[in-house]
Amino acid sequence: MRLLILGGSTEARQLAERLAGHPGFSAELSLAGRTKNPLPQALACRIGGFGGAEGLAGYLNDNRIDVLIDATHPFAERISENAVRAAKITGVPLLTLTRAPWAAQAGDRWTEVADAGAAALAIGAPRQRVFLTVGRQQVPAFEIAPQHDYLIRTIDAPEPMPALPFARLLLARGPFTVESERDLLRDERIDMLISKNSGGDSTRAKLDAARDLGIPVILIRRPQASARHIFYDLDALLGELDRRRHAGSPAERGV
């Protein structure tokens, strides 16, 4: 069974590790090519956009893909919509692998907002020390609130640097520990944390640290997904792939 995995996430990396060398699947991983030094991957990779939904549909046909798996980051909205459209155009089944969103616990001081612009406005007028962990693409949205002291953590530096006179950059890639996040929030005298509701374990420590220290969090809600077959669990997705593989094999159909 030929698989195309749309990746760029921890889930896609984990799926690639499980499929590498599997005799029943031939899988390729697709990356957008945004990260300068991507981590090594267990499967063969193709890098770069397809040219919209039609381009992706063409790729699925040309490469005789049996199942398309969208394992992109939950905030990668455009490629996920392209995947839905390409699956409709070609009839190739689409399965989505993602992480469950984070849910508030007792002691959390979360304000949930729709997007980065709303997050910038939700900080309020008085100058605050803000820990900004929204990914480099969303940073320019904070130029509408330039009065704050931002500590911006990203994997690669935003290009160009945003017009934020009191911003500093911290380049780092998770996972992070609760202890190190607590130290950072304390040492930097952070008043407020801003994050996307990405879900998953590798970056949730900052939320635990903020709760411990009573620091308010502005959390950007996930975009609404229009995909239908959504898996929050890697084993469940692998089980579904196996089921489809057996259902599709001549022996199982009694041929």
Binding footprint of ligand NAP on the chain (CB under 6 A): 6-9, 30-32, 34, 49-52, 55-56, 72-73, 75-79, 82, 135, 137
> Min. distance of Cβ 208 from ligand NAP in angstroms?
20
64: closest CA among 105, 33, 28, 40? 28
User: Which residues 6+ apart lie within 8 Å of 169 measured at CB?
Assistant: 152, 153, 154, 157, 158, 161
Q: What is the dihedral of CA 248, 250, 254, 255, to 10 degrees?
A: 140
3-class state of residue 62 by DSSP: helix
Cβ closer to ligand NAP: 65 or 182?
65
Q: Which is nearer to ligand NAP, 149 or 176 (CB)?
A: 176
Nearer to ligand NAP, 6 or 205 (CB): 6
DSSP 167-182: EEEEE--S---HHHHH
Tokens at 225, concatenated: 């997904």
CB 197 to ligand NAP: min, Å: 11
Residue nearest to ligand NAP (CB): 49
Minimal distance, residue 182 CB to ligand NAP, in Å:
24
d(C-alpha 146, C-alpha 163), whole Å: 8
CB of 74 to ligand NAP, least distance (A): 8
For ligand NAP, give the closer residue by CB, 32 or 210.
32
